Chain A
Amino acid sequence: MTAAPLHSAFRSSASEAWASGAGLLLPLGFFAGTATMVPFTLGSEAELLSRVGPGILWLALALSSMVTLERVFQADLQDGALDLWLQDAGSISLIAAIKTLTHWLVSGFPLVLLTPLIGFMLGVPSEKMVPAMLGYAMGGLVFFLWGGVAAALSASVSRAGLLIALIALPLYVPALIFGVQMVESGIDSPSFLFLSACTLFALGVAPAAMGAALRLAAE
């Protein structure tokens, strides 16, 4: 298989992500909105906010990944595009991986860029900002990949949002644990290596799982 199908899959899912809803703005607004709610619910003491700030951002990232993934494969199944992808044998895992990675790039990665602003608002110490951004980038990748598996598994379910959450949230936990610890203890800690391991494991396993789930969904 050449790179041309993967390139076209990237282009089409980027324009699809853009066309469905407000594209970039929707998850960004969700992320920023959730983070802004925090001082109202927990009180505005600076010390408390700077302590819980990074954790709150992890939660917002996990939730916003699921908001964007609900329709990724469901739309393909309903409009018949999945059948067309399945015709060209063997490539569906790669195509599915490209689709989820595109969604991460369009709606996950911008959250990383927004982190300094929201982190500053919550009073997260500046030395924690770089580990936090790195953690959100890698953790976000894990979230989107496992979220993609959940979305592929529930592609034929009409109201898939809750099911995706049920399937994907337990898979988010390891990355969440190591990610939060990494923000606390810095890049040169074992947690960084464990988070990297989580990311690599998801990159290796999730595409095959998505491919198998999509074949099943098309039956």
Chain B
Amino acid sequence: MSKTRLLHGQGLGAVRGERVLFRDVSVSAHSGELILLRGANGSGKTTLLRQLAGLSETQAGTIERAGLHHWIGHTNGLKAHETPRSHLRHWAKVWGSKRDVGAILKGIGLARPANVPCRMLSAGQKRRTALARLALDDRKLWLLDEPFNALDTDGQELLAQRIEAHRAAGGAVIAALHGASPIEADIEVAL
């Protein structure tokens, strides 16, 4: 399998106030790879991920992107009044996806609470709703910030399987993770 480069960040750096969070970090994601950003709380994992996603300005270095990516931040992007179904329908429309939202909800274990407003869902159910967005649109690169947070054992297994399947299909994943990883990484970037 030929390895296409999906994202390349070179010499990245970030400053918070007067403190240098990290400097001269390079991240390169090729198809099939899982890259974990590791580091203690406050070491800049989220900042680096946001820079890679184009949400924060880079304070040093350059980033080249090959195409669109999926973003799952530490916030889920859900509105209190939305239901998992209406949330997925909304983003399916925005992204021009024709996928069957009902099947996606069933696949991620949200068939039962599909029509319950998010303010009444548990933290894990909200996380599953956010992760369900990954199935709406085929994008080669996934950027995930603490994706396993709030998930139960089942959910963690499910997400690990999804990540493996995505890599097998030629995608790449960059994830920020502070705890023990349920998945084996190709590359670890320590901050």
Contacts and interface: CB of A to CB of B under 8 A. Distances in A.
B54 A89 contact: yes
B5 interface: no
A20 B81 CA distance: 8
B73 A11 contact: no
A78 B79 CA distance: 10
Contacts of A219: 55-57
B176 to A, nearest CB: 14
Interface stretch (A61-69, A79-87, A101-109, A134-142): A79-87
Interface stretch (A1-9, A118-126, A177-185): A1-9
Interface of A: 2, 4-5, 7-9, 11-12, 15-16, 19-20, 75, 78-81, 83-84, 86-89, 218-219
A19 B94 contact: no
B80 interface: yes
Given A7-B93, A219-B56, A219-B57, A16 B79 contact: yes
Nearest to B56: A219
A80 B81 contact: no
A125 B123 CA distance: 57
B121 to A, nearest CB: 13
A218 B74 CA distance: 13
Nearest to B70: A87
Interface in B51-107: 53-57, 68-69, 71, 73-81, 86, 90-91, 93-96
Size class of the B contact interface (CB-based, 8 Å): 20 to 34
B60 to A, nearest CB: 15
B90 A79 contact: no
Contacts of A81: 77-79
Q: Lowest 3 A-B CB distances belong to which pairs?
A: A80-B75, A19-B81, A80-B77
7 contacts: A8-B90, A15-B86, A79-B77, A81-B79, A83-B73, A87-B54, A218-B55
A80 B81 CA distance: 15
A46 B77 CA distance: 53
Given A80-B75, A80-B76, A219-B57, A88 B81 contact: no
A4 B96 contact: yes
Nearest to A78: B75
Given A19-B81, A86-B55, A8 B73 contact: no
B56 A79 contact: no
Contacts of B96: 2, 4
Given A88-B94, A89-B54, A219-B57, A16 B81 contact: yes
A24 B122 CA distance: 30
B93 A4 contact: yes
Contact of B71 (A9, A20, A83): A83
Contact of B94 (A5, A16, A75): A5
A8 B71 contact: no
A116 B110 CA distance: 49
A195 B53 CA distance: 42
A79 B81 contact: no
